[in-house]
Amino acid sequence: MDRAERHKITQRVTLTGAAVNCGLASLQIVFGFIMGFAHMGFDVLHDVIPFNAARSSHLNLLVFWLLSGFMGAAYYIVPEEADRELVSEKLAVVQWAGLVIVGVAAIIGFQFGWWEGRKFLEIPRPLDYLVVVDVLLFIYIVGRTALGAERFTTTGSVLLVGLTAAALLYLPGMITFDSQVIDSYFRWWVVHLWVEGVWELIMGGILSFLLIKLTGVDRELIEKWLYVIIGFTFLSGILGTGHHYYYIGTPEYWLWIGGIFSGLEPLAFHSVGVVGMVLRDRYGVVCRESVRPRSERTTLAGRDYAAGRGLLPGRMVAGRDRRLARGDLTGSRGDAPGAYNFGSVTPSCP
């Protein structure tokens, strides 16, 4: 199967999920408005949608459509990074549809008082088991796709590790304790180490993929910064959990540790985005896709030809021309401008 056909398959799965996720996000906003008006004294829907049911629906819809969105993104990125099609498109659609059905059943159940009563983890226990089965199926699909490929990149590996860790960290939330303190401790393992731990691995993989594809910056440079994100995320995310521990009776210093490291978490993502933009402005699109065979890479001369035929935006060649004028780019033999050995330079192709 060629690249164009594979894109059609992955796009069908991803776009279907994206459309439903937009609907779920909109429904979350609706429940948010219901709570907002209730706080203002306009709780006219109280008999139909009590405040506690609206709040549980609002919080769990956030978790639900984000997880579903990550899965949809993985169904596009993993095949692209592995350079092969999904192991089964039909199985991917079944897995995603199963997750949607479980999520909708949970939201409906909230309106009738069917829940566990634990913030962010309110879904009833029978649906918990269905979520575990569904996520295991998802890990099987993307894992088989990645591990069966001849190549797999750092970006894809980080994304896959993050998705697998997200599935494993859901399990502590299924354990209940008689002590409210111990129960809250493990509940925050799920809630906080999901959001500020493994979810950031997933977001790091997605961000790396987007920067490579949209800026044309060297894959090796972006993926080096991806390692920085991973290290900084785990340092700040794990310690940042401490600002929740303070409220269950731990020493006061955890409030400071948790607050400071929680505030540091966005810096890694912000910095890699800034670095990507700086490298793009400095080097244009002249860089290499290190995981692609040399025979498939496009030369500068080929890009000039494509731009002349109107196949590429002029800005893609303009960035290179600016660097030529500054003398930032030389041929493989150090030739003067105008006499470049273009065959030695290998820009990336999306």
Average pLDDT, the chain: 75
Q: Residue 168 to residues 141, 162, 163, 164: CA-CA distances in angstroms?
A: 16, 10, 9, 6
pLDDT band at 277 (very low <50, low <70, confident <90, very high): confident
Annotate 127-140 with b (16+ C-beta within 10 A) or e (fewer): bbebbeebbebbbe
Please state which of the ranges 110-124, 235-249, 258-272 shows the lowest mean pLDDT: 235-249
pLDDT band at 138 (very low <50, low <70, confident <90, very high): very high
pLDDT recorded at residue 5:
60
Residue 278 has pLDDT above 60, yes or no: yes
| Ranges of each domain in the chain | 1-144, 153-283, 294-344
Is 80 within 8 Å of 4 (Cβ atoms)? no
Residue 78 has pLDDT above 80, yes or no: yes
pLDDT band at 9 (very low <50, low <70, confident <90, very high): low
State how far the Cα of 56 lies from the Cα of 121, in Å rounded to an integer: 9
pLDDT recorded at residue 344:
34
pLDDT recorded at residue 228:
82
Residue 326 has pLDDT above 70, yes or no: no
Please state which of the ranges 18-27, 218-227, 249-258, 300-309 shows the lowest mean pLDDT: 300-309
State how far the Cα of 265 lies from the Cα of 243, in Å rounded to an integer: 14
Residue 23 has pLDDT above 50, yes or no: yes
pLDDT band at 139 (very low <50, low <70, confident <90, very high): very high
State how far the Cα of 347 lies from the Cα of 350, in Å rounded to an integer: 10
Q: Which of 40, 69, 43, 63 is nearest to 54 (CA)?
A: 43
For residues 31-38, average pLDDT: 92
Q: Please give the span between the terminal C-alpha atoms of the chain, in angstroms, as a whole number.
A: 18
C-alpha triplet 159, 240, 163: angle, nearest 5°: 15
pLDDT recorded at residue 319:
44
Residue 129 has pLDDT above 80, yes or no: yes
Q: Residue 318 to residues 218, 304, 332: CA-CA distances in angstroms?
A: 18, 10, 21
Residue 309 has pLDDT above 70, yes or no: no
pLDDT band at 6 (very low <50, low <70, confident <90, very high): low
pLDDT recorded at residue 189:
73
pLDDT band at 4 (very low <50, low <70, confident <90, very high): low
